[in-house]
Amino acid sequence: MLKVQTIKTGDATSGPLKQEARAGESRESFPETKGLKMPDARCLSMLSLCETASGGVGRYQENLLALADHGIACRVLLPDADRHILGPEADVLTFHRERRGGSALIAFLRAFLAERKRSKPDIYFFNSTFSLLPLVVLRLLQDKTPAIYCAHCWAIATQDANSWKGHMVRAVEGNLCGLADLVINVAQNDAATARRFGYRGRQIVVEHAVPAADPQAPDDLFDRASTDETHLLFVGRFDRQKGLDLLLPAFTRARAQNPGLHLHLVGGAVRGGDTPEPRDGVTNHGWANPDQIDSYCKSADALIVPSRWEAGMPLVVLEALRNGSPVFASSGCATDGFLERNGCGAGFDLDEDDLSALLAGLRRPDLAAMRPRALAAFQAHFTLDRFTAEMAQHIRGLTKGHDND
């Protein structure tokens, strides 16, 4: 059973710092790693810092925690409100915040300084823009401990690069990322952004990954009046970025030509967004737990991803592929021809006419023929074993010969 204890720190790092701990486990050092895939290598400790762990950042931490198989014990620092994102077995530290803002950043920084003093990790992993603050502090303290920075999507990707705000964003993230020893991009288009704007640092790509699908996940969630019906799936927020407002009218037009089409929505409105009005052939399932996604993907004949923009290939694409589900993704998803090359789907332009024509032409037998290729594409490119092997190699390269006092 887990317990939460409050650690009191000195004046320089005063304030509450909650620590998640396994019963009987000392928090003065990182837990031992077991079942190492590199038994002759020295075990390393890594502290991963998250100002927020919502969305893909939290999912990414699961992959970093899997580095334990390579002798790298990862401890994650995140807000207490995001603790539920990682499983109870995860090695997690939390800091308290009421909302995002200046006071939350101070709490984040205090928590970082306290843990730095206590555990002295072998390497730091800084996640997303606001984690650049503790990275700056680390270097101001003349601490040369190896550090990795991962933007998870460069902030400039959501800005007008030539506006005053865009120039400020580029100056901040483009220069401060160079304080890290290694900058990891989660997709090729992120690396292209860094090159385009001349961002500092040693920039590399380690593409995202997800664990294998649950083999016990059912594949019969959707009622089918006939075997010829084609059931499509949308997963995500009901907001402008995810493009549901483009998909729904395109689907209605497509269904007029192909009455066997059905669309299943898994997600919900956030940030003041609207829940769509009921439509023929559309079923809104609401939000699903992460352990239910495999069942939805297995049950669907294909996944539709109409996003206006994404930070690299969306995780839901990988989750569909691991279940053998073909994927049709917009040009905003940065699939860069991957789906076509692997015969497991296709891209489309963000245009209602084009999307409607694409949907109207989808037939279940054709999609079923793509399923083996979708699974093969996942196994060739997006397995967790591939990710952890690559990441472990880079981490050990940074720490080799480094004496962490």
pLDDT tens, 214-272?
Answer: 999 999 999 888 888 999 999 998 888 899 999 999 999 999 999 999 999 999 886 55
Query: CA 347, CA 332: separation in Å to the nearest integer?
Result: 9
Question: Residue 24 has what pLDDT?
Answer: 31
Q: What's the pLDDT score for residue 318?
A: 95
DSSP 115: H
Is 5's pLDDT higher than 50? no
Mean pLDDT of 25-32: 49
Domains and CATH numbers, the chain: 2-23+31-209+385-399 (3.40.50.2000), 230-382 (3.40.50.2000)
> What Å distances lie between residue 347 and 188, 304, 329, 381, CA to CA?
17, 10, 5, 18
pLDDT, tens digit, 9 for 90 and up, residues 301-360: 999 999 988 767 888 999 999 999 999 999 888 787 899 999 999 999 989 999 999 999
pLDDT value at 3 more than 70: no
Q: What is the pLDDT of residues 353-363, one digit of tens each?
A: 999 999 999 99
pLDDT of residue 332: 84
Residue 399 has pLDDT above 70, yes or no: yes
Please provide the size of the chain in residues: 405
Q: How far is CA 355 from CA 205, 308, 328, 346, in A?
A: 31, 13, 10, 11
pTM, two decimal places:
0.81
